[in-house]
């Protein structure tokens, strides 16, 4: 019996593996799903921009309304809008939890935050969209530390090959600090953010 693999199908449609489990599946079938997936599709400018926007949304697991609000805020600030947009998204609490090595995927990270497992500067926060500032300290709440996912995190099970320099993570203590504004060059998302800016600016 074929089981539905929505994240694997979405990974193939976007051309990126959205979770570790999707990597092998995506590598075996590195083309869009559907009977015409192997055929080369016409790549209009609009479709290219739409694809990049969808890629960025998927990597942060955002709704369209959330993405639009983030872009509107980035567009109001001085500087390169695409870089600012990625920096704003990277400062979300759920994204930071993932980068710090406390969760395996952005989906798990969002669930953990929503279930009130994290403190920010000593106060419990349950909003995945909570915006961190440099100097903020994120740690796993006391009663949550004995739960299996966090025991694995403390042992380094979810740590990436390289933690971005804007994250100071002390996994054994289940504590991490945002030490600086995320620089686009260090943010490990696959996206041409300029195409995202062009999509929303059209």
Q: Is the separation of the CB atoms in 112 and 102 below 8 Å?
A: yes
Per-residue pLDDT tens over the stretch 54-91:
999 999 999 999 999 999 999 999 999 999 999 999 99
- Pairing mode, strands 167-170 and 118-120: unpaired
This prediction has a pTM of 0.84
Listed in sequence order, the DSSP H helices in 29-128 are: 45-60, 64-76, 81-90, 93-100, 106-114
Per-residue pLDDT tens over the stretch 89-147:
999 999 999 999 999 999 999 999 999 999 999 999 999 999 999 999 999 999 999 99
Q: How many helices (H) and strands (E) does the chain have?
A: 9, 5
| Structural domains of the chain sorted by starting position, each given as residue range(s) with its CATH number in brackets | 92-180 (3.10.290.10)
Side-chain-side CA neighbours of 61 within 13 Å: the count stands at 17
């Amino acid at each position: 019996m074929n089981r539905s693999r929505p994240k694997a199908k979405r990974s193939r449609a976007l051309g990126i593996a959205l979770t570790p489990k999707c990597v092998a599946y995506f590598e075996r079938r590195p083309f869009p799903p559907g009977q015409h997936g192997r055929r080369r599709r016409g790549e209009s400018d609009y479709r290219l921009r739409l694809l990049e926007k969808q890629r960025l949304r998927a990597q942060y697991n955002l709704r369209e309304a959330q993405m639009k609000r983030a872009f509107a805020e980035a567009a109001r600030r001085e500087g390169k809008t695409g870089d600012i947009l990625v920096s704003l998204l990277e400062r979300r609490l759920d994204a930071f939890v993932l980068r710090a090595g406390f969760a395996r995927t952005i989906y798990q990270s969002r669930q953990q935050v929503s279930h009130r497992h994290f403190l920010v500067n000593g106060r419990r926060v349950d909003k995945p969209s909570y915006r961190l500032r440099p100097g903020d300290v994120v740690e796993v709440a006391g009663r949550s530390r004995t739960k299996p996912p966090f025991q694995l995190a403390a042992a380094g099970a979810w740590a990436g090959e390289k933690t971005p320099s804007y994250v100071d993570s002390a996994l054994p203590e289940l504590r991490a600090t945002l030490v600086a504004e995320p620089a686009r060059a260090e943010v490990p998302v696959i996206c041409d953010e300029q195409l995202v800016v062009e999509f929303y600016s059209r």
